[in-house]
Amino acid sequence: MLRYETRLKLPQATHWAARVSVIRILGLDPGLARMGWGVIDVSGTRLSHVAHGVLRSDAKCELAARLLALHEALTAVIAELQPAALAIEQAFVAKDASAALKLGQARAVALMAAARAGLAVAEYAPNHIKKSVVGAGHADKLQVQAMVRRLLPTAQVEAADAADALACAIAHAHLSGTRARIFEALAGDGRPGGRSAAARKIVAIG
């Protein structure tokens, strides 16, 4: 049994059609008991909240059933909201080996769902996400939640798991925007259609 909570605010259809440069990002805070997710639209430097929620699995069910339920629910979110990219927290070394194993299994389910949907996948360390969103790599959950609310005022996010997921999406949006500005600055070396040597190097190291 999987409980599924979401807060949804989709853009108007006519408005969406006009925003041809919009990129939709799904952020995930993976977990076996609670998997937070959040979707944002990115247009230039503008961030817009689309939806967020928390997937919960029943601890009374067998592990395989819990993983299957999470996979099916996440697949449904991806199919409905059609993100182009997934941003997910990297695995970290935990003192509790059992907890680390469960987290790794939940991450694997999320990565598989994204791969099957053809999403671009980016992984970020928790400290990187906090620094990108709050400005401090060791910010606590309340600080992250407060900054997410400030950056996405229409989200009205309350669950910490969903806030962390939105933060992950925001971090990816910031990094993607930085990369785009670097390519724009370095592209072209004076020849029609040419790239500078520095730009070509960035492409090579990817």
* pLDDT, tens digit, 9 for 90 and up, residues 150-204: 999 999 898 999 999 999 999 999 887 655 554 455 555 444 444 444 333 322 2
Is 164 considered catalytic here?
Answer: no
What is the structure's pLDDT at 184?
A: 56
pLDDT grade for 39, boundaries at 50, 70 and 90:
very high
Is 158 considered catalytic here?
Answer: no
Minimal CA–CA distance to 86: which of 45, 57, 117? 117
- Are 166 and 157 spatial neighbours (Cβ–Cβ below 8 Å)? yes
Give me the catalytic one of 41, 72, 89, 184: 89
- E strand intervals along 94-192: 120-124
- E strand intervals along 15-152: 23-29, 34-43, 46-57, 85-89, 120-124
Strands 120-124 and 34-43: unpaired
Is 161 considered catalytic here?
Answer: yes
What is the structure's pLDDT at 171?
A: 94
Give me the phi and psi of 12, to 5 degrees please: -60, 145
Give me the catalytic one of 72, 161, 164, 189: 161
Minimal CA–CA distance to 25: which of 139, 131, 91, 114? 114
Give me the catalytic one of 5, 29, 72, 164: 29
What is the structure's pLDDT at 98?
A: 84
